[in-house]
Amino acid sequence: MLPLLRLLAVICVLSGSLAHAAVPLMDLVDVEGIRGNQLLGYGLVVGLDGTGDRDQVEFTGQSMTNMLQDFGVTLPPNANPKLKNAAAVTVTAVVPPSYSPGQTINVTVSSLGDAKSLRGGLLLMTPLHGIDGEVYAIAQGDLVVGGLNASGASGSSVSVNSSNTGLIPSGATIERMIPSDFSERPEVMLNLRKPSFQTVARIVEGIDKVFGKHTATALNATKVSVRAPLTSTQRMSFMAMLEGLQIEEGRVRPKVVFNSRTGTVVVGKEVRVSAAAVAHGSLTVTVSENPQVSQPGAFSGGQTAVVPGTDIEVLQEANPMFEWPEGASLEAIISTVNSLGATPDDVMSILQSLERAGALNAELIVM
């Protein structure tokens, strides 16, 4: 715990020293109208080595029956194909901005039923739909699965990562370009990823300095409107110049990030604590089960039975109250936490209490 927190302190000190350095404009903003779009499809993976969906997953059999009918193969009514080598899957992808028909994208394939593994499978031709229901890409190809899952007849099994999700590199071909009005707008809208009045003011100042006054207009703490050429070639050159523009980021509220899955706590360099007194203790409840055997008397006609016996012990540690001075720095916070021997969960609990008491200047983010 101690070396980890010290390492985080060093990282935060180094990053803090670079916090106000000038960075490229496009590292701070997103251009409205230039973004990726999500696609979703439903398909079938075949060629599995007996690790596909079981008979209880009816929609896999229905999907296979419908596909065979398209090829002129009709199964008897109520026939169960028993497709252990096939699995129903969802297929997802993201189309980068301005991709045109013929270009390829990666797709992710995930099991929808109870298949044990998709390793060695082949995704059959699957249309990928946008939010408007239109088909924008077609996916097909061999899956690359990074995990494995093996089991024996006795029920023993071992798994590494997830074998129910796979990737098909360049597995989908764009069939229709997603329209964008970026080139038709009279202005370019820049949306800040971290709202800040200081950053907005510096962006406007930097753009006007290069392109002339009144080129950029601040609309709010998140949005800047920029007048841009209307012709395609001139607008692309204009955007290329914007990409290289160096802007000094304004002050952003420091953050404390807590990953609840791994128990990791990352505290930013600028985090400060106001004067506060904190008492932190722990309550331990121990429940012990000691079953007893009840033996009936001779000739009583009773039966031997197991009677449950439960012992409950409650232990609360009496930890003294400690004080954080006004404006305690990251180093002071780490020193105090280490002196308590607190776990990451304890650290997060203390910081949450400080935030609710108004003694913490940082934003808490729980992942």
What is the token pair recorded at 92?
């997802």
What confidence score (pLDDT) does residue 316 get?
52
Residue 151 pairs in a beta bridge with 157
- Its pTM stands at 0.61
Cβ–Cβ < 8 Å for 58, 112: no
Nearest to 196 by CA among 361, 29, 366: 29
What confidence score (pLDDT) does residue 2 get?
40
Average pLDDT rounded to a whole number, residues 78-102: 85
**Distance between CA atoms of 45 and 24, rounded to whole angstroms?**
44
152: pLDDT confidence band, cut at 50, 70 and 90?
low
Minimum mean pLDDT among 2-11, 85-94, 136-145, 346-355: which range? 2-11
Whether the per-residue pLDDT at 251 is higher than 90: the answer is no
**Distance between CA atoms of 43 and 90, rounded to whole angstroms?**
6
What confidence score (pLDDT) does residue 338 get?
64
User: Higher model confidence: residue 177 or residue 67?
Assistant: 177
362: pLDDT confidence band, cut at 50, 70 and 90?
confident
What confidence score (pLDDT) does residue 129 get?
95
89: pLDDT confidence band, cut at 50, 70 and 90?
very high
Q: Using one digit for the tens of pLDDT, what is the confidence trace for 308-323? A: 666 656 555 555 555 5
Q: Residue by residue, what is the 3-state secondary structure of the chain?
A: CHHHHHHHHHHHHHHHHCCCCEEEHHHCEEECCCCCEEEEEEEEEECCCCCCCCCCCHHHHHHHHHHHHHCCCCCCCCCCCCCCCEEEEEEEEEECCCCCCCCEEEEEEEECCCCCCCCCCEEEEEEEECCCCCEEEEEEEECECCCEEEECCCCCEEEECCCCEEEEEEEEEECCCCCCCHHHCCEEEEEECCCCHHHHHHHHHHHHHHHCCCCEEECCCCEEEEECCCCHHHHHHHHHHHHCCEEECCCCCCEEEEECCCCEEEECCCCCECCEEECCCCEEEEEEECCEEECCCCCCCCCCEEECCEEEEEEECCCCCEEECCCECHHHHHHHHHHHCCCHHHHHHHHHHHHHCCCECCEEEEC
Average pLDDT rounded to a whole number, residues 287-292: 62
Whether the per-residue pLDDT at 117 is higher than 90: the answer is no
Cβ–Cβ < 8 Å for 343, 282: no
Residue 189 pairs in a beta bridge with 225
Nearest to 127 by CA among 70, 177, 60, 172: 172
What confidence score (pLDDT) does residue 309 get?
64
User: Higher model confidence: residue 345 or residue 20?
Assistant: 345
Average pLDDT rounded to a whole number, residues 272-284: 60
How many other C-beta atoms can be found within 10 angstroms of the C-beta atom of residue 334?
19
141: pLDDT confidence band, cut at 50, 70 and 90?
very high
106: pLDDT confidence band, cut at 50, 70 and 90?
very high
Q: Sketch out the chain's domains with CATH numbers.
A: 21-34+181-248 (3.30.1360), 37-174 (no CATH), 255-366 (no CATH)
Whether the per-residue pLDDT at 16 is higher than 50: the answer is no
Minimum mean pLDDT among 1-15, 155-169, 174-188: which range? 1-15
How many other C-beta atoms can be found within 10 angstroms of the C-beta atom of residue 39?
25
Average pLDDT rounded to a whole number, residues 72-94: 81
Whether the per-residue pLDDT at 49 is higher than 90: the answer is no
Beta strand 216-218 pairing with 157-160: unpaired
What is the token pair recorded at 360?
């913490």
Nearest to 37 by CA among 171, 212, 174: 174
6: pLDDT confidence band, cut at 50, 70 and 90?
very low
User: Higher model confidence: residue 119 or residue 251?
Assistant: 119
Q: What number of residues does the chain have?
A: 367
- What values do phi and psi take at 357, rounded to 5? -85, 0
Q: Using one digit for the tens of pLDDT, what is the confidence trace for 259-275? A: 666 667 777 666 766 66
What confidence score (pLDDT) does residue 169 get?
93
**Distance between CA atoms of 336 and 325, rounded to whole angstroms?**
11
**Distance between CA atoms of 193 and 61, rounded to whole angstroms?**
46
Q: What is the mean pLDDT of the chain?
A: 76
User: Higher model confidence: residue 354 or residue 120?
Assistant: 120
Cβ–Cβ < 8 Å for 110, 46: no
pLDDT cut 90: percent of the chain above it: 22
**Distance between CA atoms of 39 and 92, rounded to whole angstroms?**
6
Cα 42 to its chain centre, rounded Å, is 22
